[in-house]
Amino acid sequence: MGSSHRQAVILGYDAVCALGTRFPDAWEKALRGDSGIGPLTRFPMDDNFPVRIAGEVESIDDLDYPFLNPRERAKWTSPIFKHAMLTTSRAIERSGIEITPDIAPRTAITYSSALGGLDAALEADRRLVKENRLPKPFTNPNACINMVGGKVSILTGATGPITATISACATGSTSMIIGAMFIEQGLCDVAICGAVDFALVPAIIAGFATMNGTFYPKPGETVPPQAASRPFSRNRRGFVVSEGAGAVILAAREFAQSWGLTYQVAVAGWGMTSDAHHVVAPHLPTVTRCMELSLAHAGIDPQAVSSINAHATSTQVGDKVEYDALCAVFGKNIPPVTANKSMMGHAMGASSVIETIFAVQGMIDGKIPPTINYDPDPDMAFDCVADNARSLDQAYVLKNAFGFGGCNTCIVLEKC
């Protein structure tokens, strides 16, 4: 990014995912190649329900959620609010920022969700249809996607620009890009960015199964849950639905310097494209162009990229298109690639920001977590970091995220 631009640096971040509710623990598990995928327990199901596994966040109701006293927790029943508040508060604490009345007008919120509080809406429908009872008063606020950022704003006091931009599986990346845009354009000095999703409701999981998107065992087949998510593998058979949240605190570089705040990674560039092609299947030309735009905006050549944090959902067509796009951009010199969904599943809109946080931590520590369950596909020859974590100094990392409906985002992270 040129020196004339206001560059966004990353001051703080936090995530909850299937690997753990405390990010340092989740990071250590990722480096070990542990899996957070296990039996689906969020709701009762009969023998005909097609999906039996998921990436669940442990102890979902046992955590001490900052900002939410018992009365508040009774109102905000959807897990998305608990996770959003938890990740935001921890990220702010890590950033060193105190959102004072002076800073609040220059603090933006770009925290969103792909699915929102569907669990609250479905519960209201159940009360109406099966019990002939009206919904609870906070049903609609729990279901509304924009209320996630709204609640973050209320509880932090931030009064700058606010938006909830939904781009399916790329929602978390989009939130970061919009926050970086606000900073670059001088609309704010600080941006609280992130995404959260709780997709573990029967209708959503079953819907993905009928689309042949999510993994489910064939008749008579027994597959350990930990072995189900297989990005880039010859035997990949779809993603594992999971849940989670991630928050990233961005700030203008000069703001961080003037306040004596430390940072080690910056947002160097980004790209966004729409496939205009298919409801689900990604489109190679526009996916490729998205990667190219991100590198151009960062002002770097492809050979400057040290590693790639892939979108890699484990679908046949999705992984192959991403690989073909990497070949188009990097030729025969594709940097090392890792796919975090192999361990934590697909947390919908939250996945891209959670994975960005893993990429940031990897840059700081000089580590790349492995892609587990990797069985090389002969049609995709590249350096997939598998089996064990790899030590590598990473100057630039490319983070890919491609959402349903052709919502493509790529972010280039730069080590400062």
Count of beta carbons in the 10 Å neighbourhood of residue 62: 7
Instruction: Kindly name the residue from 188, 346, 384, 407 that is annotated as catalytic.
Output: 346
3-state secondary structure of 236: coil
C-alpha triplet 96, 100, 101: angle, nearest 5°: 160
Report yes or no: 242 and 76 within 8 Å, Cβ to Cβ: no
3-state secondary structure of 413: strand
Sign for the CA dihedral angle at 343, 344, 346, 352 comes to negative
Kindly state the greatest CA–CA separation across the chain. Answer: 63
Instruction: Kindly name the residue from 17, 283, 311, 384 that is annotated as catalytic.
Output: 311
Cα 94 from Cα 96, distance rounded (Å): 6
Cα–Cα distances (Å) from 388 to 297, 354, 383, in that order, read 32, 20, 13
pTM to 2 decimals? Answer: 0.96
Name the token pair of 26: 């989740």
Name the token pair of 133: 């009872």
Instruction: Kindly name the residue from 169, 188, 193, 410 that is annotated as catalytic.
Output: 169
Report yes or no: 197 and 354 within 8 Å, Cβ to Cβ: no
- Each of the 416 residues of the chain gets a pLDDT tens digit; together they read 544 478 999 999 999 999 999 999 999 999 999 999 999 999 999 989 999 999 999 887 777 777 777 888 888 888 999 999 999 999 999 999 999 999 999 999 999 999 999 899 989 899 999 999 999 999 999 999 999 999 999 989 999 999 999 999 999 999 999 999 999 999 999 999 999 999 999 999 999 999 999 998 888 888 999 999 999 999 999 999 999 999 999 999 999 999 999 999 999 999 999 999 998 899 999 999 999 999 999 999 999 999 999 999 999 999 999 999 999 999 999 999 999 999 999 999 999 999 999 999 999 999 999 999 999 999 999 999 998 999 999 999 999 999 999 999 999 999 99
DSSP string, 322-349: HHHHHHHHHTT-PPPEE-THHHH-B-GG
Report yes or no: 97 and 190 within 8 Å, Cβ to Cβ: yes
Active site residue 346: yes
Active site residue 277: no
Q: What is the pLDDT of residues 63-116, one digit of tens each?
A: 777 777 788 888 888 899 999 999 999 999 999 999 999 999 999 999 999 999
